[in-house]
Chains A and B, each alone.
Chain A
């Protein structure tokens, strides 16, 4: 394959990564933005989403499409409720102290991960996609000074991957509408701006916190259900999304929604492209170092506005 089609393939694979990453990271950003806490267990909620998706599709046992559709609805709700319960039983009791929250969520990370290991086991298990047509993609070439299309061997994408990109876009727009247009979003933004003032105006801040924590985890679970037909469900799969979401949220400016989505596109695409041409380990080393440097020298993020 020539360089051009190769780059296009890498970009398309990167776009799938970016779509899923944008969902996961916006969950983390939402929690950080409204509650001002860092949820280290975010990756485990992602993992739980995948594992539960496998479980639900097995339970339903109908055609792949029906099982997947049920999982897409049931799993985020289950994970969201679990996260909300965690918030009420653990985080509320330590009063959302930033440092103690990190320690507590590290504990929750290990609990979720190890309980999954004990029940689901150490195997990676596949979930079959609801539809999976192979779509060959054309590339252009110059023949005798005229542009002609041809179909290079190997340049193709599945319909499911395109659907993931589309679904992620729709979900992100829906989240943005909820945040900016709905009553619930208004309450969330009020809580974000000034917790005490919100409380004084009769906003049930504690309930909003539980809801935000649940919604954040549900976003991760939703992303996981979407990706599980491409990537198998495994109890250790939470580490990478957690690290990448951290990177995205930090580069995008802590808690800023448009910045997060933009950074997810940037990181997802470049991750796909860099991994094709360079060693993935080297790419990860560079990415973590860049993020550390961004936090050190530009704590408001690359796209974030300076907070006063």
Chain B
């Protein structure tokens, strides 16, 4: 095992251990927040797989998050599915839509890719509003307490909820780390750095990109389904443009193309918005200012800067 590998395992393992231990010391309010952050961070991690490692900037990831959320919620409310089945259904729906979007959107690149994904997500959002009879539109619906029991554990209980969120976060961590370390991940980075060269070297770039989109959509859908399950609410606002911008913001802030970046960015932004929404209703102002400042002064994000200056080994 090389030294860099050991360092990276120590760092990421350390972060996970810290997250695990925090639940025993945090007061109730921050305890709940951290559970939320961990689920949203896995959404950001899913986004990072595509944006940070493959170099594809999507403006429509809310579609995948909402696919997981609604796939899970509707399976319960309309078809009376059990918790495990509903969760699986949400993830499957996300992967399916991911595949569909990938096949179409990957025919374009650059700015056109951004707009096409934005348009698909917008169509998805409007579709949820259109079928308001089932989805209850903007108002959304609540998931019954009885449906929020998974493997015999009541997920509305804060401790179980934290533990489940922690598990999701671990899954996303392990998934990202193994992708990054694998042959597959290295090809993705090669595509990000120079697509033409990767193609010249004989890699089937289109296939790699397709798999990357589906993988990213699946992880986003998993966190969407988990979010609905843990916090008991399914609503159309999670499908709106804002929820496509958030993961971009979190990943840019934390550092695109770093495994820890999404978690750091999500936690940072979550508390920034939490604090500022206490002061003003115009809390999205903070998001705007941070976005502009990031593009101007730190396009690499927090961990990206850290890697550039000190920790060259950071994956």
A residues apposed to B, CB below 8 Å: 38, 90, 93-94, 98-100, 102-104, 106-111, 113-115, 117-118, 122, 243, 246, 250, 279, 281-282, 284-285, 288-289, 291-293, 295-297, 299
Contacts and interface: CB of A to CB of B under 8 A. Distances in A.
A296 B107 contact: yes
A92 B281 CA distance: 31
Interface centre among A100, A108, A115, A296 (most CB of B within 10 A): A296
B282 interface: yes
A107 B114 contact: no
Given A103-B248, A103-B291, A296-B108, A110 B120 contact: no
A98 to B, nearest CB: 5
A299 B130 contact: no
Given A243-B122, A288-B120, A299-B108, 20 more contacts: A38-B115, A94-B296, A102-B111, A103-B291, A103-B295, A106-B291, A107-B292, A107-B293, A111-B289, A111-B292, A115-B285, A117-B281, A246-B115, A281-B129, A284-B126, A288-B123, A292-B116, A292-B123, A293-B104, A296-B105
Interface of B: 57, 59, 104-105, 107-108, 110-112, 114-116, 119-120, 122-123, 126-127, 129-130, 245, 248, 252, 280-285, 287-296, 299
A149 to B, nearest CB: 41
Contacts, number: 115
30 contacts: A93-B296, A94-B295, A98-B111, A99-B57, A102-B111, A102-B114, A103-B248, A103-B252, A103-B294, A104-B295, A106-B291, A107-B291, A107-B292, A111-B285, A113-B284, A113-B288, A115-B282, A115-B285, A117-B282, A122-B281, A246-B119, A284-B126, A285-B123, A288-B122, A289-B123, A292-B119, A292-B120, A295-B108, A296-B107, A297-B107
Contacts of B288: 106-111, 113-114
Nearest to B126: A285
A297 B105 CA distance: 10
Nearest to B51: A99
A243 B123 CA distance: 11
Contacts of B110: 98-99
B123 A107 contact: no
Nearest to B106: A296
A296 B130 contact: no
A98 B109 CA distance: 12
Given A38-B115, A94-B295, A107-B290, A118 B123 contact: no
Contacts of A114: 282-285, 288
Contact of A104 (B129, B285, B296): B296
A133 to B, nearest CB: 37
**A279, A282, A292, A296, most chain B CB atoms within 10 A:** A292
B53 to A, nearest CB: 16
B295 to A, nearest CB: 4
Contacts of B120: 288-289, 292
A279 B115 CA distance: 24
A250 B280 CA distance: 37
A296 B280 CA distance: 41
Contacts of A246: 115, 119
B295 A100 contact: yes
B71 to A, nearest CB: 19
Nearest to B119: A292
Contact of B112 (A90, A109, A288, A295): A295
A113 B288 CA distance: 9
A291 B289 CA distance: 30
A69 B254 CA distance: 49
Nearest to A279: B130
Contacts of A111: 285, 288-289, 292
B56 to A, nearest CB: 10
Contacts of A288: 119-120, 122-123, 126
Contacts of A279: 130
A99 B55 CA distance: 11
A292 B108 CA distance: 10
Contacts of B108: 295-296, 299
Contact of B111 (A99, A117, A118, A292): A99
Nearest to A104: B295
B84 to A, nearest CB: 32
Contacts of A100: 295, 299
